[in-house]
Amino acid sequence: MDMAKLVAQNHEALHTMAEAVDEEEFKNGSVKKLIKDMKTALKSYNVDGFVAVAIAAPQIGVSKRVFLVEDQSNERNRIPSFVAINPTIIKCAKKLKLVGEGCLSVPNKYGEVYRHTHVTLRAQDENGIFFERGAGGLLAQIIQHECDHLDGTLFVDRAEHVQDKA
């Protein structure tokens, strides 16, 4: 089976708490392989002209706490790319905003979800080095969406309104 494919919405990995990446996985190259597989799956996604901006490991059936952001659009103000391993949102703005959301794992649905307007993320990069970064707007939304994946939650589980994509 080719691991670099998106799994179906009912896949167990999308509904369970993902496991932390340990030091051995950084050393033995499995983290780098996983990231490569995730990038392949992300690049392969193009449905009705929608391109992907981020993906979490459970979306390719790997229950590990890894997500990456890599905007596939050709816009000039693209979201900066980064990898987040064992991420934790350490700070959230109190303010919530209802935002439109879709998901690679729920390809035919679109919904509105309450998300914090700003978050601060603490995570490790692909070499195991810890970093923190603040995010607002769309990037804050993406970080919350991807962290949800690592906790076994899909946006449709949180959405206020869900509709089928036209």
Please tell me the total number of residues recorded for the chain in this structure. 166
Of 25, 70, 126, 146, which residue is the catalytic one? 146
With a CB cutoff of 8 Å and minimum separation 6, the contacts of 164 are: 108, 109, 110
Nearest partner of 89 among 154, 23, 151, judged by Cα: 151
Taking the mean position of all CA atoms in its chain, how far away is CA 95? 22
**What is residue 53's three-state secondary structure?**
coil
Angle 134-127-80 from CA coordinates, rounded to 5°: 40
Annotated catalytic, 146?
A: yes
- By annotation, the residues acting in catalysis are 146
